Amino acid sequence: MPRNVLLITTDQQRYDALGCNGGKIAATPVIDGLARDGINYHQARDQCAVCMPARATILTGQHIRRHGVRSNGIPLPADHPSLAHVLNDAGYATALIGKAHFEPHAATDYFENTAAGAGSHGPHRGFDYMELAGHTGRAGRSLFHYPKWLAETHPDEVAGFHEYTAQGKPSGLGGGDTGAPQVAHNPMPVEHYHTHWTARRSIDWLANRKAEENWFCWMSFPDPHHPWDVPDDARKRFDWRDLPLPAGYPGSRAACEDILATKPHHWLDWYQGKGQFNFEVPPDYVPATTTTDQIREVNAIVHAKNELIDEAVGQVMDYLAERGWDADTDIFFTADHGELQGDFGMLFKGPYHVDALTKVPLIWRPAPNRNIAPAEIPDPVGHVDIAPTILKALGMDIPADMQGAPLPQTPDAGSHERVITEWYDDYDGNEVTMLLHGARRLPGHRLRADQPV
């Protein structure tokens, strides 16, 4: 009997984006169903709150100081031991479809940035097949498979995306109704957007698998990461004018500054535009200038993106059922990190260890034929535990160089005592080093938006 794994990731999605985790605005019935039928980890943490380090940890089962990707821009060596290599060596068909980001997007001498132009889909870093997308349909710093497809099939729709870069750097140039940073109205149809493209291309890859074939598919959605340029038909589901401000918004610029003054200096320095600490944030964005209407508009678009993701996951779930694979497929869902979304009056992410950025959704829907009971898990777990869990679920040995442990399956398992999130980075002459240690079921493990760090 074949045993299959579908790993689903989103980019920059908060824990509370989902209905099963307390979200009350975006409708996420498909993902909520995975949580209802599976195991929902309510204290899951990333091991670094930025893309490349987090993704390297998911793939390798290692902390950032072990795999070496401590910052965006540092590539994970293609031959670095990983989950994909182990499964591929064991005879599994392996694919990554959507956003990879194990290699710098701005460099042209890496596979991720050259594959589409060369007509290549791999193999690469343990994956038989890779078909890649980023956060835009524009062909800019790099040409992934998605913007190439869009330019070739629907060239008139390319310009609907936000102009993500300016002079080679992320641009915060505003748009939409409120001039919010990296917002654009996008008239393209939903079915051509990269969310549905990622699901459709995942289904196409699965369609080429034989019924008895073992496979591992990493379906990696680029959303709800900025830029916030979801297709208009989805954007119009939510009127930003009707949205409340997030609970983590202190109420005014003065209130924000009072709270940030109690934190390490880089919080207030960034808020007031006195320093930059993370090249993932547009250098021309000053958080203190963000208006409440801009926060509402960004959040409305994020909710729309989250709904599209849920619908796309539903399309793939329907296909698994159609092929008769659902009972034999373990499904994992997580995000690489979160997003501030107006907490402290800020947008984007960076070296700020609070729930908005470090606490991520993590759901494991075991293959139904495994007869593992649904559960709600309060213990601290992390991305570092995903690869070992997959290998154990498939009855395979866990390599000694994986630092994580298989995820607990019951609330009283007691196997996870702590989780560690780290930040080691420097930008614009500013160096920040931080460590977050969360212990099992201790009140201090929960970092509220109003809690000094």
Q: What is the CATH number of the domain that holds 423?
A: 3.40.720.10
pLDDT at 444: 34
Number of domains in the chain: 1
Query: Is 453 domain-assigned?
Result: no
Query: Is 452 domain-assigned?
Result: no
In sequence order, which residues have a C-beta less than 8 Å from that of residue 412 and are 6 or more positions away? none
State pLDDT tens for residues 54-99: 999 999 999 999 999 999 999 999 999 999 999 999 999 999 999 9
pLDDT mean over 404-409 = 96
CA distances to 149, 192, 220, 243, 321 from 146, in Å:
5, 10, 13, 32, 27
Closest CA to 76 of 97, 43, 48: 48
Query: Is 450 domain-assigned?
Result: no
Query: Sign (positive/negative) of CA torsion 120, 124, 129, 133?
Result: negative
| CA–CA gap between residue 138 and residue 155 (Å, rounded) | 10
Q: How many CB atoms lie within 10 A of CB 192?
A: 18
Query: Is 53 domain-assigned?
Result: yes
Query: Is 183 domain-assigned?
Result: yes
Query: Is 296 domain-assigned?
Result: yes
Residue 163 pLDDT grade (very low, low, confident, very high; cuts 50, 70, 90) = confident
Average predicted confidence (pLDDT) for the chain? 93
What domain range is 294 assigned to? 4-445
Q: Is the pLDDT of residue 271 over 50?
A: yes
pLDDT at 448: 36
In sequence order, which residues have a C-beta less than 8 Å from that of residue 135 and are 6 or more positions away? 11, 99, 164, 194, 222, 223, 225, 226, 227
Query: Is 76 domain-assigned?
Result: yes
State pLDDT tens for residues 279-329: 888 888 999 999 999 999 999 999 999 999 999 999 999 999 999 999 999
Residue 354 pLDDT grade (very low, low, confident, very high; cuts 50, 70, 90) = very high
pLDDT mean over 230-238 = 98
Query: Is 451 domain-assigned?
Result: no
CA distances to 2, 134, 206, 332, 396 from 89, in Å:
16, 28, 19, 21, 12
| CA–CA gap between residue 319 and residue 177 (Å, rounded) | 38
pLDDT mean over 331-359 = 97
Q: Give the tokens for residue 266.
A: 């880089």
pLDDT mean over 387-408 = 97
Instruction: Output the pTM of the full model.
Output: 0.95
Residue 75, Cα to own-chain centre: how many angstroms?
18
